[in-house]
Amino acid sequence: MKKFLIFIFSLLVVFLVGGVLYVHHQNTPLTHLHITTSNTATVLIPGSNGSTYTFNGMIRRLTHKKLAHLALKVTIDANGVAHIRKVGALTQNPLIQLTFVNNQDPQKQMQYLPAFMKELKSVYHMKNVNFVAHSMGGSVVLEYLENKQVQTSQYPKITKFVAIGTPFGYITPQNSLATAASNLPSDLKILNIAGNLNHTGTDTAVPLKSTGALQPVVAGHVASYRHITIEGNRLEAQHSALHENPKVDKLIVNFLWN
């Protein structure tokens, strides 16, 4: 019995120490960052089957480090109506967490996003907005950015776009997203983040070749484009782990606010 208790105690110590080291590792990349603050909001969009869970962790980490904070929680229902709840000030790097009830239909999301963005400008007076999107959410954003109508004064100006693990491999030269690339804002800056799980060439859901397919589409049409591959294990580079990786947080923070 005594040996059994010692064994259990040893296991608890190992898990406790491991947990502390893991948390320390998770938080380390977000220390000693020098950022600028502004009223430019950042809209967070999940991918297929995504929910508030997708970006909850990132929001908590950025808030904990006082780098940004959640300002609006938004759900767009099956009819395209945006249900908006204000939870913080729309100043000092505000975050807008956007989810869709119809979270399995990117075409519907592409259809509904412009009306919400227009509301951000008319009701909440958001002049400038960034996008951070995971997986198919990045395709929804790209479709939005290529819509000439949303580049009028009725909509916020989009300054930066971060795609995380987004598949772009379906875009052929004849695809509408390729032919409409000239509609992209010429001053737009793009950060495209991919995952390479244990050197397999994929994040388990999206191959590197697919994420990298965005580069030839936007080349010559935007102010800057950068592609970064996250190498690592399942806790670092797997498709759904990318938005939980503090290294990704750091890349996003430096891109948006540094």
Confidence (pLDDT) at 33: 87
Is 26 in the same domain as 110? no
| 90-111 pLDDT tens trace | 999 999 999 999 999 999 999 9
The model's pTM: 0.89
Q: Provide the pLDDT for residue 148.
A: 94
Task: Say whether both 173 and 226 belong to one domain.
Answer: yes
- If asked whether residues 94 and 204 sit together in one domain, one would say yes
Residue 176 confidence class, pLDDT cut points 50, 70, 90: confident
Same domain, yes or no, for 172 and 219?
A: yes
pLDDT of 32 reads: 79
Same domain, 25 and 38: no
Residue 230 in tokens = 């996250």
Q: Does 161 share its domain with 245? A: yes
Residues 136 and 71 in one domain: yes
- Both 40 and 26 in a single domain? no
- Domain residue limits at 164: 34-257
Whether 51 and 175 share a structural domain: yes
Looking up residue 130, the CATH number of its domain turns out to be 3.40.50.1820
- The tally of domains found in the chain comes to 2
41-45: strand order across its sheet: 82-86, 69-76, 94-100, 41-45, 128-134, 157-164, 189-197, 224-232
Please write the tens of the pLDDT for every residue from 129-161: 999 999 999 999 999 999 999 999 999 999 999
User: What pLDDT is recorded for position 174?
Assistant: 85
Mean confidence (pLDDT) of the chain: 91
Q: Helix or strand or coil: residue 95? A: strand
Q: What is the pLDDT of residue 4?
A: 47
Alpha carbon of 226 to those of 119, 159, 160, 238: distances in Å? Answer: 30, 15, 12, 20
Tokens 């989810």 locate to 99
Q: Which of 7-11, 118-122, 211-215 has the lowest mean pLDDT?
A: 7-11
* DSSP string covering 155-209: SPEEEEEEEES---TT--TTSHHHHTGGGS-TT-EEEEEEEEETTSSB-SSSBHH
pLDDT band at 13 (very low <50, low <70, confident <90, very high): very low
Average pLDDT over residues 67-75: 98
- Predicted confidence (pLDDT) per residue in 223-258, tens digit: 999 999 999 999 999 999 999 999 999 999 999 999
| 138 shares a domain with 205 | yes
Same domain, yes or no, for 20 and 65? no
Distance from C-alpha of 157 to C-alpha of 150, rounded to nearest angstrom: 9
Is residue 14 located within the same domain as residue 52? no
The residue that leads in pLDDT, 22 or 258, is 258
Predicted confidence (pLDDT) per residue in 25-35, tens digit = 445 578 878 89
Burial class from Cβ neighbours inside 10 Å (0-12, 13-18, 19+) for residue 48 reads middle
